[in-house]
Amino acid sequence: MAQSGYSNPLKKFKLVFLGEQSVGKTSLITRFMYDSFDNTYQATIGIDFLSKTMYLEDRTVRLQLWDTAGQERFRSLIPSYIRDSSVAVVVYDITNKKTFENTRKWVDDVRGERGNDVIIVLVGNKTDLNDKREVTTAQGEEEAKKNNLMFIETSAKVGHNVKALFKRIAQALPGMEGEGQQGQSQRSERVFVLGDKEEEEEEDDEEEEEKEST
């Protein structure tokens, strides 16, 4: 007798968040986990860990979220957390061009540890400060295309595209299993840009996503 899908063990995937200090890594995780935002900035010390189950239409996955410190003094800790990750989320602040330029070294670190066997998402955060923008959406897109990354702009403060970010990551995860050359080719096509259409889909899916549990 065929076993029900519910009898299968819950698949767990490790997501590591990388980027310079104060770009909003912790805030993105907090918005996703608790749908809240803390205006008081507190730098992450070392590594923090949280996990959340996502219920998609055809599968359930457990996302393990590893929040890393952006300060230089903690850089030596990060390679060990990258090493067994399924996804690297590299975050920059759209109002600070230097944080965008420094994403290249984070991407290089990920490639050095994981090669192409990892999903990398480039995230331009703080779109609520669009009037102070120093990095255009087109620049983010171009950087993502050049390095075969997924791409999205978000605002952890107001929640813009945060659910869409994690939903797209979760939907991409099954393709990582048992991939050969075909999988490597597919990874080169993972660039995407989310806009108003995705926001409308988020609202439509709101009831379904309320089933997510911490």
Contact status, residue 114 vs residue 82, Cβ threshold 8 Å? yes
Tell me what pLDDT residue 213 has.
43
Tell me what pLDDT residue 1 has.
47
pLDDT tens profile 179-214: 433 343 344 345 455 544 445 455 545 544 444 444
Distance CA 123, CA 143 (A): 11
Token readout for 17 is 């968040």
Instruction: Catalogue all structural domains in the chain, each as residue range(s) with its CATH number.
Output: 10-209 (3.40.50.300)
Indicate the pTM of the whole model.
0.80
Tell me what pLDDT residue 211 has.
45
Contact status, residue 125 vs residue 91, Cβ threshold 8 Å? yes
- Least confident window among 36-45, 46-55, 92-101, 189-198: 189-198
Burial class (CB in 10 A: 0-12, 13-18, 19+), 134: middle
Distance CA 73, CA 147 (A): 27
pLDDT tens profile 23-40: 999 999 999 999 998 876
Looking at this protein, which amino acid is placed at residue 191? V
Detail the DSSP E strand segments found in 109-171.
Answer: 119-125, 150-153
Question: Which position has the higher pLDDT, 130 or 211?
Answer: 130
Report helix, strand or coil for 207: helix
Helix axes 137-147, 103-114, angle to 10 degrees: 20
Q: What is the rounded average pLDDT for all residues in the chain?
A: 80
Looking at this protein, which amino acid is placed at residue 207? E
The predicted model gives 88-108 an average pLDDT of 98
